Structure 1
Amino acid sequence: MTPLIRTPNLDHVDDVYQQLLLMHEGLDEAQSLKACARLILALSNHIGSSAVVLEAIALAKGQAEGEEL
């Protein structure tokens, strides 16, 4: 298993960020949440390692609760 990469590793990050914002345009809250869930599932499937996905979930939850990386 490859551990979760915690350092910047994405090319064209600004473009990706812009597309993430645009993904929500014209959607109500429920539609926006569904779009996020579909994106998360698609990326989780691409990663292919439940251990890495679970590590990312724990990291995201900790940061949402104010913990540092």
Structure 2
Amino acid sequence: MAVTLTPNIPDQDGFYDELLRAHEGLTKAESDALNARLILVLCNHIGDREVIRAALAAAK
């Protein structure tokens, strides 16, 4: 399975707004921790190590 790199989220602006709101009122450390937990939750949801490796490479 390949990593989807083209826009694939309906209402992208709405999603971005939700993501920003999730960070409101957090310190830098708390925001970083939220991002780390979100990454782990999403990687667990994907569950495919090859897809996760491809995503890591694409993000790098």
TM-score normalised over the length of structure 2: 0.89
Same amino acid, percent of matched pairs: 47
Q: Tell me what 2:3 maps to.
A: 4
Give ranges in structure 2 of 5+ residues lacking alignment: none
CA-to-aligned-CA distance 1:19-65 (integer Å, 9 cap, x gap): 1111111111110010001111111111111111111111111xxxx
Q: Tell me what 1:26 maps to.
A: 25
Give ranges in structure 1 of 5+ residues lacking alignment: 62-69
> What root-mean-square deviation, in Å, do the aligned CA atoms of Structure 1 and Structure 2 show?
1.0
TM-score normalised over the length of structure 1: 0.79
In the alignment, the residues of structure 2 paired with residue 30 and residue 41 of structure 1 have an alpha-carbon distance, to the nearest angstrom, of 17
Structure with bigger helix share is 2
Quick one: which amino acid aligns to residue 22 of structure 1?
R
Would you identify which runs of 4 or more consecutive aligned residues in structure 1 move more than 4 Å?
none
Q: Once the 2 structures are TM-superposed, how far is the Cα of residue 15 of structure 1 from its aligned partner? A: 1.2
How many residues align structurally?
60
Could you say what secondary structure the match of 1:9 adopts? coil
In the alignment, the residues of structure 1 paired with residue 42 and residue 59 of structure 2 have an alpha-carbon distance, to the nearest angstrom, of 15
In the alignment, the residues of structure 1 paired with residue 26 and residue 59 of structure 2 have an alpha-carbon distance, to the nearest angstrom, of 23
Q: Once the 2 structures are TM-superposed, how far is the Cα of residue 13 of structure 1 from its aligned partner? A: 1.3
Quick one: which amino acid aligns to residue 17 of structure 1?
Y
